[in-house]
């Protein structure tokens, strides 16, 4: 991968430009979803992976904090119950699916596609109320 080539986020499945120098094991934050990722190299291909050293609680807390910071959003008193809902979905279904959505599909991994696509800008908050403008 040359400088400024796109790389795929395994969480939101969106490619983004990785402008900084590539280094095995480097921590990268996805500018789309806020996921904390680890840069890895297999043969001549660079990829991003979810870090195995983070507990599920650390992973989702870091992700929602990063996403809110990147977008200029804030949280209210619903944050902790919603984090608990995300953790329960992770325990039951293997990923952080939005607690207010029935379908546990990739588009509903927090922050969900609807939220990443501008629902907070339009409605003042995301559907479940985790992210607020």
Using the Cα atoms of residue 29, residue 112, residue 130 and residue 51 in order, give the sign of their dihedral: negative
Structure confidence by residue, pLDDT tens digits, 88-107 = 999 999 999 999 999 999 99
Is the bond preceding residue 97 a cis peptide, omega within 30 degrees? no
The boundaries of the domain holding residue 21 are: 6-49
Indicate left, alpha or beta for 8 from its phi (over 0: left) and psi (-120 to 50: alpha): beta
- pTM over 0.95, yes/no: no
Residue 91 sits in a domain whose CATH number is 3.90.460.10
Q: Contact at 8 Å (CB) between 88 and 99?
A: yes
Structure confidence by residue, pLDDT tens digits, 6-56 = 899 999 999 999 888 888 999 999 999 999 999 999 888 899 999 888 999
Q: How many domains does the chain have?
A: 2
Say yes or no: 77 and 62 in one domain: yes
Say yes or no: 72 and 119 in one domain: yes
Q: Considering the domain boundaries, does residue 15 fall inside one?
A: yes
Q: Considering the domain boundaries, does residue 38 fall inside one?
A: yes
Is the bond preceding residue 111 a cis peptide, omega within 30 degrees? yes
Say yes or no: 44 and 29 in one domain: yes
């Amino acid at each position: 991968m040359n400088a400024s080539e796109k790389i795929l986020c395994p969480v939101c499945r969106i490619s983004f430009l990785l402008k900084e120098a590539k280094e095995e094991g480097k921590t990268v934050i996805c500018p789309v979803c806020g996921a904390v990722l680890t840069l890895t190299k297999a043969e001549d291909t660079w990829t991003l992976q979810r870090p195995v050293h983070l507990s599920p609680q650390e992973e989702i807390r870091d992700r929602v904090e990063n996403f809110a910071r990147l977008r200029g959003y804030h949280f209210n008193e619903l944050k902790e119950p919603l984090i608990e809902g995300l953790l329960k979905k992770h325990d039951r279904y293997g990923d952080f699916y939005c607690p207010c959505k029935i379908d546990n599909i990739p588009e509903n991994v927090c922050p969900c596609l609807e939220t990443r696509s501008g629902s907070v800008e339009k409605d003042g908050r995301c559907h479940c109320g985790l992210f607020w403008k």
